[in-house]
Amino acid sequence: MTGYPVLTATTFLPLAGAVLIVLIGSERLARWIALATTLATLAVSAPLYWYFNKGSSALQFVELREWIPSWNIAYSMGVDGISLPFIFLAALLSVLCVGASWTAIQTRVREFYAALLVAETAMIGLFATSNLFLFFVFWELMVIPMFLIIGVWGGPGRVYSSVKFLLFTLAGSVLMLVGMIAVYQAFGTLDFKALAGETIEPVFQAWLFVAFLAAFAVKVPMFPVHTWLPDAHTEAPTAGSVILAGVLLKMGAYGFLRISLPILPDAVQLFLMPMLVVSVVAIVYGAYVTLVQKDIKRLIAFSSVSHMGFVTLGIFTLNRSGVEGAILQMINHGIVSAALFLCVGMIYERTHTREIKDYGGVAKIAPVYSTLLALFCLAAAGFPGLNSFVGEFLIIGGAFKTQAWLGAAAVWGVALGTTYMVWLFYRVAMGEINPGLEGLKLELNLREVATLAPLALLAVCLGLYPESVLSYLRAPVAELLASGVAP
C-alpha cells in the first residue's frame, strides 16, 4: 500500500523533531521546527485514513519486528477502527498546540517544544501499538513531558499541580505494571490479540481488572480519583490543557476498550454495576461542581469529569450503541474541550485573568471570537447538529437499554451540561462590557483563527455527518462485543 512503515513513521517523527530542536540551539527556529514536524506527522499519517479498510475488524498497517526476543516481546504496531481516530486527533491537536503556544510561550522555548513533541510521540505510539509492553512504555513516556509542561510553563500553582498529576498517574500506573507482569508471567506474551484468545481464570481476571482499573481510572479520570484533573488543567499552559483534555484523558478510556473488555470479560461482568454507578456519579456530580466554578479553566476542567463520565458509562453499557457512542464522545470531547481551552488561552493572553467575573460583553468587542466560543460552548452542551450531540445521544440510548435509571441520570447530566455551558457563554460574552476590558484588543488574529478553524469545522462536520467516524467503529466494536463480553 505504502512504501514506508506508516505507524512507525507517524509515531517517531515527532521524537526526531524533538531531538532536532535540542540539537539546533535556536529559540526562533524551535517554533518552526515544531510546526513543521507536527504538520509532517499529520502528512505521513495520511495513508492510514486513505488506505484503511473500514469493513475489517482486524489490525491493519501491522508492523512486526523482533525487539526483545529473549522475553518474547516484539515491536508490534497495528491499528483498527477504534484506535485510528485517536491517532488523527493526537496528530491534529499537536499542530494546534504549536499554533497556540506561538506567542504564549516565551521562556525556555526549545525545551517546551521538545517536550510537546515527545508527548506527541507518546500519544500516537500508545494508540498505534498492539502489545501491552509498548502500551505501558508509551503510557509512562507521556507522564514526564506533561509533568514538565505543567510544572515549568504553568500558572502560579504549577508546581503543586504538576507533582499531584505525577503522583496520581504513577500510583495508578505502577499497579498496571504489576498487572502486566502477572499477565506476562502467566501467559508468556503481552500481545493484545494473543491475550484476548487466552482463557483466564475469573478470580485472576478480577485481580487484573482492579490493577488495570487503577491506571485507567486515574487517567480518565473517574470519580473519586479525578481530583488531580482540575488542578492540572487549570495550571497548565494552554497547550498542556489541550493535550490533557484532548488526548490524555482518552488514554484511560482507550485502555478499557483495548485491555479490560477484550481480555478480562468475566471481570467486566463482575464489576459492571460499580463501574456504571461511578460513571453516573461522575456525570451528575461533575456537572454540579462545574456549575459553581468561578474560574473559566476550572469550569471546563470539571466539565471534562462529567463528559468523561458519559464515556465510561457508554463503554460499560456493553451494547453497540453505548460503546460506539462512547468512542465518538471521546473524539468529540477531544475536539470540543481542546477548542474551549484554546479559546480561554487566547483571551487569557490578552486579559491575564481567568475569573469569569472579570469578563462580560466580549461579544461586542470581539465578534469573531465570540462566535467561535458560542459554537464550541453549544457543541459542549450537546446541541443538536453539533458533534457532541450524536455521541451523547448514542450513549444515553445505550444506557436506557441497560437500565432505565442510568439513562435518566445521564439525561439529567445533559441538562446540567447545557446550563453550565450556556451560562458560561452568557457571563463571558453577553451583557454589558466589563469595565476592566475597555481598551483591550480582544479580537483574534489570523493565526488564532487558523488554530481554531479546523476544530470548528470538525465540530460541525461530525455533528452533521457522524458516520465519518462511526463507519470506522462499526466492525471493531461488533467484534469487541461478539467476543463474549456482552451480556
Report the site for another protein in 333-392 (rule: CB under 8 A). Answer: none
Instruction: State which of residues 162, 234, 238, 241 lies at the interface with another protein (CB under 8 A).
Output: 162
**Least Cβ distance, residue 178 to another protein (angstroms):** 5
Helix (H, G, I), strand (E, B), or coil: what is residue 131?
Answer: strand
Does the protein bind another protein through residue 199 (CB under 8 A)? no
Among 3, 23, 55, 69, binds another protein (CB under 8 A): 69
Give the residue with the Cβ less far from another protein, 204 or 423. Answer: 204
Q: Is 3 in the site for another protein (CB under 8 A)?
A: no
What is the grid cell recorded at 312?
Answer: 465510561
Cα dihedral value 118, 124, 126, 130, nearest 10: -140
Q: Rounded to the nearest whole angstrom, what is the least distance from the CB of residue 22 to another protein in the complex?
A: 8
Q: Is 170 in the site for another protein (CB under 8 A)?
A: yes
Q: Which of 316, 164, 144, 267 is nearest to 225 (CA)?
A: 164
Cis link prior to 221 (omega < 30° from 0)? yes
Nearer to another protein, 171 or 273 (CB): 171
CA separation for the pair 263, 393 (Å, rounded): 28
Question: Closest CB to another protein among 68 and 404?
Answer: 68
Measured in whole angstroms, how far is the alpha carbon of residue 114 from the centre of its chain? 20
Stretch that binds another protein, among 62-70, 312-320, 431-439, 475-483 (CB under 8 A): 62-70
- From residue 289, give the alpha-carbon distance in Å to each of 129, 231, 281, 292, 356: 36, 14, 12, 6, 15
Of 188 and 384, which CB lies nearer to another protein in the complex structure? Answer: 188
b/e for 201-233, b at 16 or more Cβ within 10 A? Answer: eeeebbebbebbbbbbbbbbbbbebbebbbbbb
Three-state DSSP class for residue 25: coil
Q: Which is nearer to another protein, 31 or 164 (CB)?
A: 164
Nearest distance, CB of residue 271 and another protein, angstroms: 19
Q: What Å distances lie between residue 392 and 78, 248, 329, 380, 384, CA to CA? A: 29, 20, 7, 10, 10
Does 61 contact another protein by CB under 8 A?
no
Spatial distance between the Cα atoms of 108 and 362, rounded to a whole number of angstroms: 32
Under rule CB under 8 A, residue 203 binds another protein: no
Closest distance of CB 396 from another protein, Å:
37
Say if residues 482 and 409 touch (Cβ distance below 8 Å). no
Which range of residues in 32-40, 89-97, 146-154, 252-260 is near another protein by CB under 8 A? 146-154
178 binds another protein (CB under 8 A): yes
Considering the rule CB under 8 A, would residue 163 count as an interface residue with another protein? Answer: yes
167 binds another protein (CB under 8 A): yes
Number of residues that bind another protein (CB under 8 A): 35
Minimum CB separation of residue 191 from another protein in Å reads 17
Binding-residue pattern over the window 103 to 122 for another protein, x denoting contact by CB under 8 A: -----x-xx-----------
Q: How far apart are CA 380 and CA 387, in angstroms?
A: 8
List binders of another protein among 10-49 (CB under 8 A): 22
Interacting stretch for another protein, rule CB under 8 A, among 94-102, 173-181, 305-313, 356-364? Answer: 173-181
Q: Give the whole-angstrom CA distance, residue 21 versus residue 18.
A: 5
Smallest distance from another protein to CB 70, Å: 5
Question: Applying CB under 8 A, which part among 168-176, 309-317, 401-409, 451-459 lies near another protein?
Answer: 168-176
Region of 199 (left: φ > 0; alpha: ψ -120 to 50; beta: rest) is beta
Q: CB–CB of 322/399 below 8 Å?
A: yes
Which position among 151, 309, 413, 417 is part of the footprint of another protein (CB under 8 A)? 151
3-state class (DSSP) for residue 108: coil
For another protein, the binding residues (CB under 8 A) are 22, 67-71, 108, 110-111, 136-137, 140-141, 143-144, 147-148, 151-152, 158-159, 162-163, 166-167, 170-171, 174-175, 177-178, 181-182, 184-185
